[in-house]
A and B are shown apart, each in its own frame.
Chain A
Amino acid sequence: MRAVDDEMRVPIDGELDILTARQDARELATALGFDGVSQTLIATAISELARNILKYAGHGEILLRSAARSGARGITVVAADEGPGIADPALAMTDGFSTGHGLGLGLPGTRRLMDDFDLVSKVGSGTVVTTTMWARRP
């Protein structure tokens, strides 16, 4: 098993990379003390984000890193691509809206899985989703 760093970068170029990103996130989340339920929520969010990258941009990357805020530990997932971008980010955050013939749950669903969610997209230059889950205090 690889050493767990505070930051991991997973290139997303094919469907196998989705599994790699999920596994890496579980390792980092375990190291940061997240419980099993939180790990599953994070892994599921990453699955959706990585799928979006493959579906709309073809390739991109998932960056995983630890986060801290007033004593709380968190895990931040950044999904970045240089794809076509999202013309109407507000519309893309609506349940059921999809241009990719999916269920249209990817982005709004991911927001419900995580605590913080930020979407920055520019048509023609790409999309960056930054999302964080904070560890529950014992």
Chain B
Amino acid sequence: MPVPILAQAPYLIASVQAALTDADLIGLQNGLLDEAQRRRCQGVIVDVTALDVMDSFSTRTLQSLAAMLRLRGVETVIAGIQPDVAMAMVRLGLTMPDVRTALDLDEGLAYLQAKQQGSAGRGQ
């Protein structure tokens, strides 16, 4: 099932609704890269609350997405990794050290907003 991408300027929010196929994940990656460019957004949140498994492929794809967006000046937040999913990821050896994570969508948005205000303040 493709992941809907919502625009909440200046951010994009992708809310994963159900287990993703590899093709869905690649589609999400490409869709977010395109939309981030088109809407000149400053941050992206991928809400994975609904994901019951994050394996090496999905983790690697999200890490690549975050790295690609960072090179474009856009920060990515992965929000809502469930406690048992986090446990399985760490046992597997997947710790996503270079990607910002947040407890849930609200925390992710609060982080991006605080960061934006911080950088606006420095610019004055």
Contacts and interface: CB of A to CB of B under 8 A. Distances in A.
Interface in A34-49: 36-37, 39-41, 43-44, 47-48
Contacts, number: 71
B52 A48 contact: no
A105 B19 contact: no
B22 A48 contact: no
Chain B binding surface, main DSSP class: helix
For the side of the interface on A, what is the size category? 20 to 34
Interface residues of B, number: 22
Nearest to B20: A19
B55 A19 contact: no
A102 interface: yes
Interface string B38-62: 0000000000000011111100100
Interface of B: 19, 21-23, 52-57, 60, 82-85, 87-89, 91-94
